[in-house]
């Protein structure tokens, strides 16, 4: 893999610009405007937020074309959109729509249970979810320019995001203390491309920015993700399923900037109204867990 390829550099470059920011799920232009005014670094256009997908069921697909266009017309910040895992046609349409980032997302119903999109030939960058380092490096191997830990979308429960962030960080740290003789065995264990395993061992980080997602409902949740090594945070249902989306969105934006300052976090977290109601992950069957989609 050529990390110096100009196309790959500008893909990762946009991910760099989003660091320290909050990317917010929106389903309408009005929500996108609220997100931008609250300080979102980007918005994610989708048909339904994960909490609704969970309740309503049915097949979750790419957002309607007119909805994406409307959101693009309304805000000046980057507009991302989700395609189904392995849905090459949706991905190509999103590129033709000139979205700024494509999220090949487990939140939508997978189109291919075996293969993810081969992302290198696209000019538009991709972000993909992961639960561990091996999954992250497989996606980077396919061309993802940003990784986000999956968490459990639409749950309002941070426990899965923490599990995935911890797993990735622990596996990265482990690689840095192994010697060269041990790396191929690690590549086999992680089921990841050897050269990417070697990169992580040498640099102590992923070759692309590492964001967090799934279950963020409060400023404290966002701060926790940053403490565990996330470089930015995606918030889905947590904002527009809460009592006061604009105020909560603004607070989460500030929490991602000031995560190291508990006094500020206290100040930020006062007077936000009710958060979204959460789900006990233990009550979900494995089939109900969105994070199990993809591999």
Partner 1 sequence: MRVGVLALQGDWQAHAAALARAGGAAEPVRTAPELDAVDGLVLPGGESTTMLNLLDHGAMTDALRTRIETGLPVLATCAGIILLAREVVPEQPSLRLLDVTIERNAYGRQLASAVVEVRAAKELGDGPTMEGVFIRAPRVRRTGPGVTVLGWRGEDPVLLEQGAVLAATFHPELTDDDRVQRRFLRRIGGSR
Catalytic residues: 82
What whole-number distance in Å separates Cα of residue 275 and Cα of residue 261? 22
> Rule CB under 8 A: is residue 253 a binding residue for partner 1?
yes
One symbol per residue from 36 to 75: x for binding partner 1 (CB under 8 A), - otherwise; what is it?
xxxxxxx-----------------------------x---
By beta-carbon proximity to partner 1, the closer residue of 36 and 106 is 36
Taking the complex as a whole, the smallest distance from the CB of residue 217 to partner 1 amounts, in Å, to: 21
By beta-carbon proximity to partner 1, the closer residue of 13 and 64 is 13
* HSE, side-chain direction, 13 A CA sphere, residue 205: 10
> Rule CB under 8 A: is residue 76 a binding residue for partner 1?
yes
Q: Residue 294: how many CB atoms within 10 A of its CB? A: 22
Taking the complex as a whole, the smallest distance from the CB of residue 114 to partner 1 amounts, in Å, to: 29
Q: Residue 211: how many CB atoms within 10 A of its CB? A: 23
Region from 8-16, 54-62, 103-111, 286-294 binding partner 1, contact rule CB under 8 A: 8-16
Taking the complex as a whole, the smallest distance from the CB of residue 159 to partner 1 amounts, in Å, to: 27
Distances (CA, A) of 54 to 60, 108, 109, 156, 271: 10, 10, 11, 12, 28
Region from 56-64, 193-201, 219-227, 255-263 binding partner 1, contact rule CB under 8 A: 255-263
Residues in the chain: 295
Provide the pairing of β-strand 101-105 with 79-84.
parallel
Region from 25-33, 123-131, 133-141, 216-224 binding partner 1, contact rule CB under 8 A: 123-131
Number of residues in contact with partner 1, rule: CB under 8 A?
38
> Rule CB under 8 A: is residue 14 a binding residue for partner 1?
yes
Taking the complex as a whole, the smallest distance from the CB of residue 123 to partner 1 amounts, in Å, to: 5
Backbone φ/ψ region at 122: left (φ over 0), alpha (ψ -120 to 50), beta: beta
> Rule CB under 8 A: is residue 178 a binding residue for partner 1?
no
Taking the complex as a whole, the smallest distance from the CB of residue 116 to partner 1 amounts, in Å, to: 20
By beta-carbon proximity to partner 1, the closer residue of 258 and 292 is 258
What whole-number distance in Å separates Cα of residue 103 and Cα of residue 265? 29
Taking the complex as a whole, the smallest distance from the CB of residue 92 to partner 1 amounts, in Å, to: 13
> Rule CB under 8 A: is residue 124 a binding residue for partner 1?
yes
Q: What is the contact surface with partner 1 in residues (CB under 8 A)?
A: 6, 9-10, 13-14, 16-21, 36-42, 72, 76-79, 95, 98-101, 123-125, 250, 253-254, 256-258, 261
């Amino acid at each position: 893999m050529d990390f110096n390829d100009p196309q790959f550099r500008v893909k990762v470059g946009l991910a760099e610009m989003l660091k320290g920011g909050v990317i917010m799920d929106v389903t309408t232009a009005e929500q996108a405007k609220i997100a931008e005014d609250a300080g979102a670094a980007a918005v994610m256009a989708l048909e339904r937020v994960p909490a609704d997908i969970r309740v309503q069921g049915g097949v979750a697909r790419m957002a309607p074309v007119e909805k994406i266009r409307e959101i693009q017309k309304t805000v000046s910040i980057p507009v991302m959109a989700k395609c189904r895992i392995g849905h090459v046609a949706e991905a190509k349409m999103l590129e033709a729509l000139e979205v700024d980032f494509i999220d090949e997302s487990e939140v939508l119903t997978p189109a291919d249970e075996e293969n993810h999109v081969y992302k290198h030939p696209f000019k538009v960058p991709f972000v993909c979810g992961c639960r561990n380092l091996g999954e992250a490096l497989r996606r980077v191997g396919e061309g993802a320019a940003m990784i986000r830990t999956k968490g459990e979308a639409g749950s309002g429960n941070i426990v899965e995001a923490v599990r995935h962030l911890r797993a990735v960080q622990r596996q990265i740290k482990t690689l840095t203390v192994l010697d060269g003789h041990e790396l191929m065995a690690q590549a086999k264990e992680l089921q990841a491309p050897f050269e990417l395993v070697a990169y992580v061992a040498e640099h102590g980080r992923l070759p692309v920015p590492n964001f967090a997602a799934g279950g963020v409902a409060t400023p404290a949740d966002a701060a926790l993700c940053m403490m565990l090594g996330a470089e930015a945070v995606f918030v889905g249902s947590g904002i527009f399923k809460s009592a006061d989306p604009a105020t909560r969105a603004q607070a989460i934006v500030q929490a991602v900037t000031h995560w190291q300052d508990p006094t500020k976090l206290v100040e930020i977290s006062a007077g936000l109204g009710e958060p979204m109601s959460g789900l006990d992950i233990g009550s979900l069957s494995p089939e109900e867990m969105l994070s199990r989609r993809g591999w």
